[in-house]
Chains A and B, each alone.
Chain A
Amino acid sequence: RKEVEQDPGPFNVPEGATVAFNCTYSNSASQSFFWYRQDCRKEPKLLMSVYSSGNEDGRFTAQLNRASQYISLLIRDSKLSDSATYLCVVSGSARQLTFGSGTQLTVLP
């Protein structure tokens, strides 16, 4: 079983839609959680950290469920510029970060 699993998509949604991604992780001792964004042929960039109580940054909301070992990312009012691959990132078994394979999002006009 992969340490971090994501639905690869692709998710194709119209502008203005709300879209949610889920990610599951296997290491119950994981302490840090993040969502990164990666544009085509570019480097990953931090989108937001994920805190136990859940957190929001503008149109983006991240939730953590430790009991079920999953993380979610909700994007409201999708923009064309949100088109990217979203990487779920978890502190892994060796205390390093483990990256999911990513979920591809395309926002359509």
Chain B
Amino acid sequence: NAGVTQTPKFQVLKTGQSMTLQCAQDMNHNSMYWYRQDPGMGLRLIYYSASEGTTDKGEVPNGYNVSRLNKREFSLRLESAAPSQTSVYFCASSEGYGGSAKNIQYFGAGTRLSVL
């Protein structure tokens, strides 16, 4: 069972470079999410997509864009990377959304990004 697959696993960028993080899920989930995790800060929501065709900002959206390509795929783009975006990025998916008991989120293995 693949579950949630993220690529790449590691990436080093220079300040100002752009890149796209890819995420795909094979669980037929409606909702997908992008988080970043920094030491001592916990997981913070960047963007989410409650259903195919919709995207919304989370807690820390500045400097990022997303695309819900289809029901399976949700990508995160950094247009001009900054050192403050050095972090571990996790993609997640869930059957339900928001406060629903079905909003059990399943995570990908993460992308470790360093911006120099």
A interface, CB within 8 angstroms of B: 4, 8, 30-32, 34, 42-46, 49, 87, 91, 94-97, 99-102
Tell me if A's interface is mostly helix, strand, loop or mixed. loop
User: Known pairs A96-B58, A97-B45, A100-B42. 20 more at Cβ < 8 A?
Assistant: A31-B99, A31-B100, A32-B101, A32-B103, A34-B104, A42-B110, A43-B107, A43-B110, A49-B101, A91-B99, A91-B103, A96-B48, A96-B98, A97-B103, A97-B105, A99-B35, A99-B43, A99-B44, A101-B41, A101-B42
Are A32 and B45 in touch, CB under 8 angstroms?
no
Residue contacts A-B, CB under 8 angstroms, 11 given: A8-B40, A32-B100, A43-B107, A43-B109, A43-B110, A44-B43, A94-B98, A96-B48, A97-B105, A99-B35, A99-B42
B interface residue count range (under 10 / 10 to 19 / 20 to 34 / 35 or more): 20 to 34
CB B21 to nearest CB in A, in angstroms, measures 14
A84 to B90, CA, bound (A): 18
Are A45 and B43 in touch, CB under 8 angstroms?
no
Are A95 and B99 in touch, CB under 8 angstroms?
yes
Are A44 and B90 in touch, CB under 8 angstroms?
yes
| Neighbouring A residues of B33 by C-beta, 8 Å | 96
| Neighbouring B residues of A102 by C-beta, 8 Å | 42
A11 to B89, CA, bound (A): 26
Are B98 and A91 in touch, CB under 8 angstroms?
yes
Instruction: Kindly identify, within residues 2 to 59 of chain B, every residue whose CB is under 8 Å from any CB belonging to chain A.
Output: 33, 35, 40-45, 48, 58
CB B23 to nearest CB in A, in angstroms, measures 12
| Neighbouring B residues of A87 by C-beta, 8 Å | 42-43
Are B103 and A101 in touch, CB under 8 angstroms?
no
Instruction: Kindly identify, within residues 79 to 102 of chain B, every residue whose CB is under 8 Å from any CB belonging to chain A.
Output: 90, 97-101
Residue of B with least CB distance to A2: B42
The answer to whether A45 and B107 touch (CB under 8 A), given A87-B42, A96-B45, A101-B41, is: yes
